[in-house]
Amino acid sequence: MRNLWLFILKYHAFFLFILFETAAILILVNNNNYQQATVLNSANNFFGGVYTSYSNLSDYFSLRSANDSLAFENQQLRNQLDTDMYDNSVVRRTRTDSNLLQQYTYMNAKVVNNTTSYRNNFITLNRGSKHGVKKGMGVIANSGVVGIVKDVSEHFCTVISILHKDTRISAQLSSTKDIGSLIWEGVDSRKATLVFIPNHVEVTVGDKVVTTGFSLFPEGVLIGIVTSSEIKSGESFIDVDVYLSTDFQNLRYVYIVENKLALEQLKLESKLTND
């Protein structure tokens, strides 16, 4: 306490100056409309800037919950797409809601681990058997196809991404509907190759490469864009270079696709193998 009083006594002239200066400013502002308006505007600008900065900071830290909310909303919207229905009627005179059953459903998931720099890359998602995930389900993102579920635990699953030597995605050229198989040759995480396209097909740079609907994914899901093609001498097929629509290095949220008719189709097709 003694030190405080000594400090005040030592600098009393400065404190008196501040006191008188403050009193003078208050008298000036209170008795002059122009100065009063100027002070109020300056105060509003200052505190407005502070509140804006606080709001921006708060919005930044709430991005995680916003992303989760958007992922859930997209899941709900995807589950309402007409393209994921199949016609359950025998006589197709009219198309009514009573004849439409949902063939594909979507479950949102978050990427908790992801590799892109190896020859065989995997993704781990925060969804497992507890959530209904099964081996062999397809995985897509808003940007396009991601991969196929390989193994499942109670709360997690691993996915073989397109960036894997064993991944084969049934794909087609959007304009011509010619079907091939998409493979990754292990060089660039944004480049893949569409093989088994007949050499008589006219491939157009910029054409979309999409899913066929023959496997785990609905028809028409984007895979990438044609960048070039090459006809090898003596070969019957063209190699088509594809720029992948999915940026695997920045992948955060995906959707696990369930084909409700997949088991029925596999059981039927297995008879052909056993016969």
The percent of residues above 90 in pLDDT, for the chain, comes to: 52
pLDDT digits (tens, 9 = 90+) for 211-228: 998 878 999 999 999 999
Q: Please state, as a whole number, how many other Cβ atoms lie within 10 Å of the Cβ of residue 237.
A: 15
Residue 238's contacts (CB-CB under 8 Å, 6 or more residues apart) are 197, 198, 199, 201, 203, 229, 230, 231
Distance CA 70, CA 67 (A): 5
Cα dist from 124 to 149, 158, 162, 189, 235, whole Å: 9, 4, 14, 17, 39
The percent of residues above 70 in pLDDT, for the chain, comes to: 71
pLDDT digits (tens, 9 = 90+) for 175-221: 999 999 999 999 999 999 999 999 999 999 999 999 998 878 999 99
Buried b (16+ CB within 10 A) or exposed e, 14-37: eeeeeeeeeeeeeeebeeeeeeee
pLDDT digits (tens, 9 = 90+) for 129-147: 999 999 999 999 999 999 9
pLDDT the model gives residue 214: 85
The β-bridge relationship of strands 169-173 and 208-211 is antiparallel
